[in-house]
Amino acid sequence: MAFDFGLCWVLVRRRYPATRVRLTDFDWKMARSIFAFSLYVLVLNAGARLSFETDSMVIGGFMNVGSIPYFTVANSFIIYLMEFLVAIAAVVMPMATRLQTQGKKAELQEIFLKWSKIALSLTLGAGLFLLVLGPRFIAWWVDPTFERPAGQVLQILMVSYLIFLPMRGVALPMLMGLGKAGLPTIGFLVAGLVNLALSILLVRPLGLAGVALGTAIPNVLFAVLIFGHACREIEVSVLAFMRYVIPRAVLGAVPVLALLLWFKFGLEVRSLVELAVAGVAMALVFGVMWVFYVCRNDPYIDLWSWLLPRLRAWGRV
């Protein structure tokens, strides 16, 4: 860190020789605001650590070290998916700040609804594959003995993340961008503590499934809390959100689920090639449903204006 700071300072001085840093030049009101926001981010990261990185210690302490890989392998899929969804924050957080500064409440509501629908659809697409064929993939990737214990953990976690991820990817960063960081950060920290307590409480009677439930339950409760808070702050009614975001995204995922179940129980896919074919087929069905049903006549996602010119261009070729 010291090296990075020193190097940046040298580069700044070389490019802008007149630059000087003096305490008298600081806007202390602005500095306090930045420090307060940084403190919230620190608390948020602490909650994330408690939620996602303490389960292995609970398993090692109350079960046995040999059970840790089962949970870690399953949890790694969830973490990768979460990192993908959280990338939406890079779009919605600065946009929320800008729109609030400009007083564009209607556009702020549009961003909240549109990106929540996108996040839910993406979560359903990837999540259904992990729910149905995730255990089979783990069996191929690691070892067949991992299919049942790691697969059970993956399925429990993924069910909760169908609710948690859209809120984590859209509602939470929008609240941070609006400067309403207090409740989300404290809520995430409390969720992390509840996660740790529940995992310890449930690990002995339920084993790995108990640890997974200890993670899943606080995540769902936190998502519900953030959802209600975001709807209040952005002034979107819960009914309007439910009506726009959920029905088409969920119904559009039904054919995807049916296809995956057919691959699992009808074709008994297990090899890498078979799983890859199932994934490609699922992606195609998901894309068709998203274009022709989920986004059809959508007031906020004008997919056809982007898609039609490209289809015409491909047709000319």
| 192-230 tens-digit pLDDT | 899 999 999 999 999 999 999 999 999 999 999 999 999
- pLDDT value at residue 43: 66
Q: How far apart are CA 303 and CA 315, in angstroms?
A: 18
* pLDDT score at 316: 64
C-alpha torsion angle, residues 24, 26, 29, 32 (rounded to 10):
-120
Domain annotation covers residue 104? yes
What is the pLDDT at residue 182?
Answer: 80
Q: Which domain holds residue 139?
A: 31-236
The answer to whether residue 302 is domain-embedded is: no
Note down pLDDT in tens along the chain; length 317 residues: 677 777 777 787 788 777 766 656 666 566 566 556 666 667 667 767 777 778 888 998 888 888 899 999 999 999 888 888 888 878 888 888 888 888 888 999 999 999 999 999 999 999 999 999 999 999 999 999 999 999 999 999 999 999 999 998 899 889 988 888 788 888 888 888 999 999 999 999 999 999 999 999 999 999 999 999 999 999 999 999 999 999 999 999 999 999 999 999 999 999 999 999 999 999 999 999 998 898 888 888 877 666 666 666 666 65
Place of tokens 């064929």: 133
Look at residue 301 and tell me if it is in a domain.
no
Asked whether residue 4 is assigned to any structural domain, the reply reads: no
The answer to whether position 170 is within a domain reads yes
User: Is there a domain that residue 250 lies in?
Assistant: no
- pTM of the predicted protein model: 0.84
In a domain, 269, yes or no: no
Q: What single letter denotes the amino acid at residue 217?
A: I
Q: What φ, ψ does residue 72 adopt, rounded to 5°? A: -65, -45
Please report whether residue 257 resides in a domain: no
Residues 6+ apart with CB under 8 A from 195: 50, 51, 54, 55, 214, 215, 218, 219
Helix ranges, the chain (H)? 2-15, 28-52, 55-62, 68-86, 89-101, 105-141, 147-166, 172-177, 182-206, 208-234, 238-261, 272-289, 303-316
Total domains present in the chain? 1
